[in-house]
Amino acid sequence: MFLWALSALAIPIIIHLFNFRKTIRVYFSNVKFLKQVKQETTQKRKLKQYLVLASRLLFIFFLVMAFAQPFMPAAEQLTSQRNIHIYLDNSFSMSVPVDEKVRALDAAVSYVNEIVQLFPPETRYKLLTNDFAPYSNSYKTGAEITDLISQIRLSPVSRTFNEVIKRIEEPGTLFWISDFQKSTLGAEFFSDSSWQFRLVPLPYEKLSNVFVDSVFLENPYVIGGEKNTLHVRLRNDGTRTIEGLVTKLTINGMQAATATVSLQANSAAETTFDIAGNLKGYNEAEVSFSDFPVSFDNQFYFTLNYSGKLRVIEIKPDSKITYVAKVYGNQQLFDFKSYAASNIDYGILEQADLVVVNGLNRIESSLNAALLNYRNKYGSLLIISGDQPDIDSYRKLAGTNVLKRVDKLEMVELDRPDFQNPFFENVFEERSTALAMPRAIKLIDWGNDRSAILRFKNGQPFLSRFGNTFLLASPLEKEVTDFYNNALFVPVMYRIAASGKRVERKPYHSLLTSLLTVPTDSLYGEEPAKLIGANELVPAQRRMGDHLLIEVPRFSVSPGFYKVTHKRDTLDVIAFNLDKKESVLDQFTGEEVKTALGGGNHISIFEATDLQTFSNEIKERYLGTPLWKYALILALFFLLAEVLLIRFLK
């Protein structure tokens, strides 16, 4: 457009050809020696004029070139439609610094803004983040992208490489701006030469990151507010040793305990906290520490829920109150119901966590079938025979043919419990060898059982477990045993009930969890349950008997606590945490990703470490290398040369 100005080159040429200054004649008395001087002066003057002319011509030429903005052709070209896909990774790991004070997400946002500013106005963009928001379905103008990018925040959702590609679907030029985290990017990458991949890796500074690997109670079968011990396993993902990390335990907003932990590089360490025995109902707990500058995973949320009752059903021969009814009579812990065998609705069995068959001499075939169906589909079964057991009916229920009656009836003392048996883990605070043991007369025998929970001193089993069926060798009658009156009775019966717990309330869930099961006593009406936490959600849900199945709205839930409420009732408290993979900061390099994609000219890598470098790479690759600056410098150089020639060349 400005090249027409090159016609101005004729101006200095005309000035050179026609000297408009008047010639001044000077008279001398003697011209004998002037001829030689005149010749020499004319030659020098012509040389000076030619140099000045050349300087002027070159000044005008390069000045015109500067306004014409010449450039070297771009190394890469966009598609003919000038459409660009941009994927911006906004997972929580993008909060890690890539520079001393710049988060990876902030750097990525500035890169997207630079792309929009540098490409021609007619270019259209599709912007995709980990949230897979609806706006990513259509092309946007540069101004719209600038507005959208200002609203992007960190997302608890991580995406694999293949998930992103499948979401975009339409091949084209794709700017992939990410930290390329190994733990979340995936193991196998989609590769298609119809895509033009433009990889923009954001390498972190060399940092160590501490995060909670797991949290668990020492006694997982707790069914009340008993004392317990919390185990917290921390992991150090990095090459730097962490000394004296102060770790805090908070329960219901109050600091409960602290501990100091040291972690070697790329290793794990465990610490413990004592849990008070006065906790009831729903309790929100949090483990926290200060690990700068990677702080997005410095809190770990979990719950201590003591509100769920265990449902126990007893089936007995008559209406007499039994020792089973007494041991499970704590209404804060158990929902206990007792029925005579002749007056029981088999349909209620499926609601129980534990069914106790207590004192029946014969088990009718219909009851036997109902109990077998319950045992196979639902909870646990405790079999306590009567004083005159019909072995055939008990064989069918226990599912073993080795069951037989004992002819020799004698009172035998039980041996001390095997404290190494997982059944007794954390049952006793003190493992005393002087523990008084009960005595019993064995009425049913099933041979040797090395894994028996309790044994007689002669090695014969007294209480055994077969899957989710417990079998007692003696009836709970005064004439047969004093087990019901022994210190072992309550903890053993409580542990049997706890092991039959059908819905295990996990102390925490990952944000990747798709389905929650919440126990409910009864829900009435059509009003749905809600998740109330950082925001209020009405998730997709369905009722199945006495349970509520909730589909977790993955893209709306954030780390923290959510109450499951129905009308005015709180059904449960759920704790959500980031997936542990997000805390493992090991990265792929751009070259590694390119190799995984099969290499090829359709994949290029931006090596930018700051915004200016990235901008220069964009211009060089897609807009060509601008030369107007060099042209302007040369124009000024030749202008200066002209001045110097006129001033100093005589």
Residue type, 604: S
C-alpha to C-alpha distance for 259 and 234, rounded to whole angstroms: 12
pLDDT (0 to 100) of residue 602? 87
| Phi, psi (deg, nearest 5) at residue 408 | -85, 105
Cβ 273 vs Cβ 316: under 8 Å: no
Tell me how far apart the alpha carbons of residues 180 and 200 are, in angstroms, rounded to a whole number.
9
Contact, 604 vs 18, CB < 8 A? no
Please state at what angle helix 34-68 crosses helix 628-648, rounded to 10 degrees.
160
CB atoms within 10 A of CB 418: 15
Burial of 385 (C-beta count, 10 Å sphere; 0-12/13-18/19+)? buried
Within 10 A of 433 (CB to CB), how many other CB atoms are there?
Answer: 5
* DSSP secondary structure letter of residue 621: I
Q: What 8-state DSSP symbol labels residue 140?
A: B
Nearest CA to 493 out of 219, 276, 310 is that of 310
Structure-token match 């003919």, residue found: 80
Domain 83-205+587-620 has CATH 3.40.50.410: yes
Domain 83-205+587-620 and domain 310-499, same fold? Reply is yes
The alpha carbon of 34 is separated from its chain's Cα centroid by a whole number of angstroms, namely 97
d(CA 19, CA 647): 19
Please state the φ and ψ torsions of residue 575, each to the nearest 5 degrees. Answer: -110, 130
Q: What is the pLDDT of residue 305?
A: 82
Q: How far apart are CA 439 and CA 415, in angstroms?
A: 9
Query: What's the pLDDT at 12?
Result: 73
pLDDT for the residue 2: 63
pLDDT of residue 190: 76
Distance in angstroms (rounded) separating the CA atoms of residues 168 and 176: 12
pLDDT recorded at residue 642: 80
Residue 407 β-bridge partners: none
The 10s digit of each residue's pLDDT in 264-289 is 999 999 999 998 877 888 899 999 99
284 in Cβ contact with 275 (< 8 Å): no
Contacts of 433 (CB under 8 A, 6+ apart): 416
Cβ 158 vs Cβ 184: under 8 Å: yes
Dihedral pair phi/psi, residue 142, rounded to 5°? -60, -40
- With vertex at residue 82, the alpha carbon angle to CA 78 and CA 83, rounded to the nearest 5 degrees, is 100
- DSSP letter for 236, please: E
| Res 42: pLDDT | 62
How far is the CA of 188 from the CAs of 106, 185, 238, 316, 463, in angstroms?
28, 9, 25, 60, 52
pLDDT in tens, 150-196: 999 999 889 999 999 999 878 888 999 999 999 999 878 877 788 88
3-class SS of residue 425: coil
Quick check: 179 and 89 in contact, CB under 8 A?
yes
* Annotated domain spans of the chain: 2-70+628-648, 83-205+587-620, 209-307, 310-499, 509-577
Residue at 293: amino acid letter: P
Picking from 592, 619, 594, the residue whose alpha carbon sits closest to that of residue 197 is 594
Which pair of tokens denotes residue 448? 């040797």
Q: What is the pLDDT of residue 298?
A: 95
Q: Are 530 and 565 in contact (CB under 8 A)?
A: yes
Tokens of 431: 């493992």
- Identify the pLDDT of residue 38: 53
Tokens of 184: 């979340």
Measured distance between the N- and C-terminal CA atoms of the chain, rounded to whole angstroms: 40
Amino acid 251 reads I
Q: Please spell the DSSP secondary structure of 67-94, one letter per residue.
A: HH--EEPPSS---TT-EEEEEE--BGGG
3-class secondary structure, 339: strand
Q: Contact 517/539 with Cβ under 8 angstroms? A: no
Q: Give the C-alpha separation, 196 to 173, whole Å.
A: 5
- Give the pLDDT score at 181: 94
Which residues, 6+ apart, have CB-to-CB distance to 365 below 8 Å?
393
Structure tokens at 48: 């000076």
Buried b vs exposed e over 310-344: b needs ≥16 C-beta within 10 Å? bbbbbbbeeeeebbbbebbeeeebbbbebeebeeb
Burial class of 395 by CB neighbour count within 10 A (0 to 12, 13 to 18, 19+) = middle
Backbone angles phi, psi at 331, to 5 degrees: -70, -15
Encoding tokens for residue 181? Answer: 């985290």
Residues β-bridged to residue 310: 334
Question: Beta 547-551 vs 515-519: how paired, if at all?
Answer: antiparallel
CATH code of domain 310-499 = 3.40.50.880
Q: 209-307 — its CATH code?
A: 2.60.40.10
Residue 558 to residue 188: CA distance in whole angstroms: 28
pLDDT in tens, 466-514: 888 999 999 999 999 999 999 889 889 988 888 776 556 789 999 989 8
Burial of 486 from C-beta contacts in 10 A (0-12 / 13-18 / 19+): middle
For the stretch 612-650, what's the b/e string if a residue is b when 16 or more beta carbons lie within 10 angstroms of its beta carbon?
A: eebbebbbbbbeeeebeeebeebbeebbebbeebeeeee
C-alpha closest to that of 445 among 412, 467, 419 = 412
Q: Amino acid identity, residue 231?
A: H
Those residues with Cβ within 8 angstroms of residue 33's Cβ, 6 or more apart along the chain or in another chain = none
How many helices (H) and strands (E) would you count in the chain?
A: 13, 33
Q: Which residues of the chain are modeled with pLDDT < 70?
A: 1-3, 5-6, 9, 16, 18-45, 71-81, 220-226, 307-308, 425-434, 501-504, 521-522, 623-625, 650
Instruction: Give the model's pLDDT for residue 130.
Output: 93
